Amino acid sequence: LRILSLGAGVQSSTLALMIAKGKIPMVDCAIFADTMGEPKAVYEWLSWLEKQLNYPVYKVSKGDLRQDILDAVNGTYKFMSVPFYTKNPTTNKKGLLFRQCTADYKIIPVNQKVRELLGLVSNEKRKKGTKVEMLMGISMDEVYRVKVNRLKYITNVYPLIELGMNRKDCLSWFKKHNYPTPPRSACTFCPFHNNSEWRNIKENKEEWDKVVELDKLIRKGTKKNTDEIFLHKSCIPIDKVDFTEKPDDQ
């Protein structure tokens, strides 16, 4: 199998369309792992993108990441998997929760779909010699994200890096082919947003209100973690943060 891991952001969308136009060898399908926490613009973009492609897009999901976060706070879910920022209310020492969301809500659901496409059920072992190529939408400016797949039968392939393309090249490619510009793909409550990205989210009142609500609800932490928890790295309530401050607005 030859599969595109589709995040529906700038880079993976570039790959998706380059494949459709024959600039990159054809794939059997694309797989989009849905955390159910993406901004509305990403889901609208994905709907448009699917119509441009000449191969199937499968959507998979582990579940609603936002709800699982709230359930972790309430003690009805095993743990909080997002690397939110923490602050000890006594010492003011800051920290970061362990990051497990990408593996649990992106990688594992995609790998489960790959097994399904291979005709494997439950814990059935794959046939010897089974090979899968997984095309990853990672560009030259993200070369630090290049990794060997943990599953021996899946080989990660990085066409944009092979082509020497960075994110700006991808945006130029969209412009050259008269395509609309794709939005950035990331959960609305992702703690790795920079201030510029937070400002963009704030422009959508409905999404921003849910972000503010979540930030307040996670503050008390979980039974296993008694530190205060925040969405923003300043460890200030998200609706009190001054997003016009710059050092991270690159």
| pLDDT band at residue 246 under the 50/70/90 scheme | low
pLDDT tens per residue across span 135-144: 999 999 999 9
Q: What is the pLDDT of residue 250?
A: 45
pTM of the complete model: 0.92
pLDDT at 115 over 70: yes
pLDDT in tens, 1-34: 999 999 999 999 999 999 999 999 999 999 999 9
b/e code 129-151 from CB counts within 10 Å (16+ = b): eeebebbbbbbbebeeeeeeeee
pLDDT-derived band at 127 (thresholds 50, 70, 90) equals: confident
Which residues lie below 8 Å from residue 83, measured CB to CB, with a gap of 6+? 96, 97, 98, 99, 101, 191, 192
